[in-house]
Every structure is written in structure tokens, then in C-alpha cells.
Structure 1
């Protein structure tokens, strides 16, 4: 699948798709997400989100508990640390917090800078609804 923001190849998350669930795809360059399938959409493209709303905090399994890292995917943090069975916490990673990982913050800034201003509006990315 090709990223609609940059035209680069996307990678598929290792989540099994079913009739009620969807395939999840992410761009390795700008981290734009695309959801394919599911009950309501054939293709859903969530809008741009700023860094403080984009990533979840990594559960510190194998990480120092005093540093907050952003979870990306495949047991990996935004700064590149990879630990088996690491997972997202269900809570947002907040880069402005005192204990936020500086390398995650830098990577978030680089990725955020890759999003063109024209693609940052709520309706800039087009979703395609399933016809009933």
C-alpha cells in the first residue's frame, strides 16, 4: 500500500484481519496510518495529529521506569529501543513531560516536520466509505 501523504510504501501491522476488524498500515516516513476493512469503512485515513496526541506511552517492560518512551510498533519505541513483548500503555506519551525521552522527542519532531501543512487539516486525508 502507498502512503497518501508522501507516496512511500507503507508497512502492515501484524494484526489479523477479520470481518469486524481491519488491516492497519503505517508509513515508515511520516507515520500516517491507514485502516482497511472493518465494519464501517473500506479505507479510513485518520487525520494528522500533533506529537502529544499521536503516540502512546510504552509500557516499561524492559525499559527504565523513570523515562517515558513513545511506543511505535513491533515492540519498539520511537527512539529505536526494541524489547520483546513491549506494548503501548493505553495512555498518551506526552513529550512536554519532564521525564519524556529526549531521543523520542527529537524523532517525534522530525516526523512531525515531514507532514506538509496542506495535509494537516481534519479533512485533508480522504476516507472511502463502504457502499451499502
Structure 2
């Protein structure tokens, strides 16, 4: 699948068969995601979110408690740390905080810059509803 934001190839997340029958695709360049299938949409494309609203704090045994890392995609932090059992927390990652990882902050800025201005509008990404 081609990313509608940057035009690069997307990566399909491995999923277990479920009732919803949904595929999740992510772009490793701009981190846009696309959901295909599911209960409500055939194609759902979440809109752009600014850096301070886009990422969750990563949690895993072995991550230092005094540094806040952003959970990216592919089970890694934005700065590239991968730990067994890492997941996003229920809390947003705030790059402006003093304990935010500097490398995660830099990566978040680079990723944000990869989104064309035209794709940063609330209605820029088009979702296609299932026809009944």
C-alpha cells in the first residue's frame, strides 16, 4: 500500500484474525497510519496531529525512569530503543518536558517535517465509509 501522505510504501502490521478483520498499515517515513476493514470503515486514515499530541510515552522494563521516551511504531521508541514487552502508555509524551528524551524530540520534529503542509489540515486525509 502506498502512503497517501508522502507516497512511500507502507508496512502491514502482523495481526491475529479477529471479528473486526482489520488491517493496520504504517509508513516508516512519515509515520502515517491507515486502517483497512473493521466495523465502521473500509479505509480509515487518522488525521495529522502536532508533535505534542501525537505520541504516547513508552513503557517497558529496562527503560530508565528518569527519561521519558516517545513510543513510535514497530515497537520502538522514536530514538530507536527496542525492549521486550514495550508498549505505549495511556499518557501522552510531551516533548517540551524537561525529562523528554532529546533524541526522541529530534526524531519527532523530523517526522513532523515530513508531512506536507497540505496534509496537516483536519480534513486532509480522506476516509472511505463502507457502503451498505
Give TM-score, length-normalised by structure 2.
0.94
How many residue pairs are counted as aligned between the two chains?
Answer: 132
Of residues 121-130 and 53-62 in structure 1, the stretch that sits farther from structure 2 once superposed is 53-62
Once the two structures are TM-superposed, the CA of residue 75 in structure 1 deviates from its matched residue by 2.8
Contact 2:23 2:36 in 1 (8 A): yes
Unaligned runs of 5+ in 2: none
Aligned to 1:51: 51
Q: Does 1:87 align with 2:87?
A: yes
Q: Residue in 2 aligned with 1:106? A: 106
Query: Could you report, residue by residue, the CA deviation over 1:54-93 in whole angstroms, capped at 9, with x for unpaired residues?
Result: 1110014211000000011333100001111111112111
Between the aligned partners of 1:51 and 1:18, the Cα distance in structure 2 is: 32
Q: Does 1:75 align with 2:75?
A: yes
CA distance in 2, matches of 1:9, 1:16: 22
* 1:15 Cα offset (Å): 2.8
1:117 and 2:105 matched: no
